[in-house]
Amino acid sequence: MTFRVLLLLVVLLFVIGAGADDAKRDDDRAPKSESCNNPFQLVKVESWVDGEEGHVHNGVSARFGSVLPDKPDKSVRTPAIFANPIDCCSNSTSKLSGSVALCVRGGCDFTVKAYFAQSGAATAILVINDSQDLFEMVCSNSSEANISIPVVMIAKSAGQSLNKSFTSGSKVEILLYAPPRPLVDFSVAFLWLMSVGTIVCASLWSDLTTPEKSDERYNKLCPKESSNAETEKDDLDKEIVNIDSKGAVIFVIAASTFLVLLFFFMSTWFVWVLIVLFCIGGIEGMHNCIVSLTLRKCQNCGQKTVSLPLFGEISIFSLAVLLFCVAFAIFWAATRQESYSWTGQDILGICLMITVLQLARLPNIKVATVLLCCAFVYDIFWVFISPVIFHESVMIAVARGDKAGGEAIPMLLRFPRLFDPWGGYDMIGFGDILFPGLLISFAHRFDKDNGRGASNGYFLWLVVGYGIGLVLTYLGLYLMNGNGQPALLYLVPCTLGVTVILGCIRGELESLWNYGTDSSLSTEPPGSEV
């Protein structure tokens, strides 16, 4: 088994297929009552120390209490003070009147803390959590909560930062507001372009990288180069994996197994294993893309070689590109927590997927139907049905890295939310590109083998269908208040469904179903167009 084929199998086993964002949403399972039914809001906690602007912390509002304004100019800067006792479980000996009361979590219910702070005439209460998570504060046992002041939880680090300001004897002021997330962020448009563009490039890659000087006269003048090109093409053909129906089913079962392992055993070291695998695959993919595109314009670039131990004779140009790709991947891994790291992850991921779609092929619509239908069920089960068994969505938890300190696995394309006051990223899993991409790549080969044009072929229609499917995915994402969506729920009908419908209308479904087998029928470009 060659390295490239091994790379293909590893990548396919770790595909993630849910369109999602990285923000946690309301917990509808939390107890509610008439006075305890507020939506959970993300809250901005701005601070001033002796009149100078300090840190801005993030918090989350409680199920009870008053609702915060959405803009800072609608709120009021208010002095902050630590309650005494600090857990707010009894009347405070500190004067809370006209101040934001700071309390620590524990000792009593959240509603009790809010009651005593409100009794002391506090304008709001900030509950400092004992960890970095933001816990969603609810009413115990659906009890009534007659609280009329805002109640907000902040992380442990935010509480420590505020406490340092108090220990220096400074005056601390707090401003609370809850800016809403925009209904639509332009990040989804860029993700749409990256996803569609990756599939189109992968499908047309062989056309894009065919040497320009491949005519007969050039082959006579440069027989050695022509022979080398043919040898490389034969080697690539040997590495191509033609997926069959049995392999498609086994793959989905194996992918489900790995997903469960990731869910239960995800940790920092496990994420590093995935990062290393992703870097290796990204290096291979990036090297393949750069070399292929460069040699199309300049075949002489690959003529000078050098002999290296273990590797034998290798092109100097190929070696230089490899070293560049390794440096690029290492730089991304070292700076993956930086705000700009998404660019490196997306570049490596796109190159990797283009290479994978060159190595894996669907022979016909029969295998495509088995693979995509299994992936369809796989995506829906692990996003929507798995919470019934595992108490949370397995796919979304793995994609967000909930069990690895919030560090998401790298098998995702990401783009920052440019106009979201809360920042974050919109994401799409490799599976949402690779699965439909296999079918669209097949459609391009089918059209090319049978001399089809854009209108009477299948490739263009499937690309349009895929684009529409992504739009429906993000529409579903917003209608479901940002909760992760199984993208294949929309993408499979918009790609496989379109193929079947067009095949039936054109009377070619049997040819598509058995294409590449002895029983397949030869197709000629039909006179009618759809």
Task: Select from 481, 489, 428 the least CA-distant residue to 27.
Answer: 481
**CA–CA separation, 212 and 223 (whole Å):** 15
Q: Is 449 designated active site?
A: no
Task: Select from 2, 92, 471, 10 the least CA-distant residue to 280.
Answer: 10
> Token pair of 64, please?
């009870």
The H or E element spanning position 43 is strand 42-49
* DSSP annotation of 232: H
**Residue corresponding to tokens 């220096």:** 168
Backbone dihedral angles phi then psi of residue 185, each to the nearest 5 degrees? -115, 145
Q: DSSP for 148-195?
A: -S-EEEE-HHHHHHHHHHHHTT--EEEEEE-PPPPS--THHHHHHHHH
- Nearby residues of 308 by Cβ (< 8 Å), 6 or more positions away: 314, 319
**CA–CA separation, 463 and 497 (whole Å):** 13
Backbone dihedral angles phi then psi of residue 358, each to the nearest 5 degrees? -85, -30
Task: Select from 411, 352, 139, 63 the least CA-distant residue to 360.
Answer: 352
* DSSP annotation of 382: I
Backbone dihedral angles phi then psi of residue 523, each to the nearest 5 degrees? -115, 140
* Active-site residue, from 379, 402, 420, 426: 379
Neighbours of 294 (CB within 10 A): 16
Beta strands in 86-209 (DSSP E): 100-104, 124-128, 151-154, 172-177
* Active-site residue, from 22, 346, 402, 432: 432
> Token pair of 403, please?
């069990």
**CA–CA separation, 309 and 311 (whole Å):** 5
The H or E element spanning position 51 is none
Q: Is 70 designated active site?
A: no
The H or E element spanning position 431 is helix 431-449
Give the active site residues: 379, 432
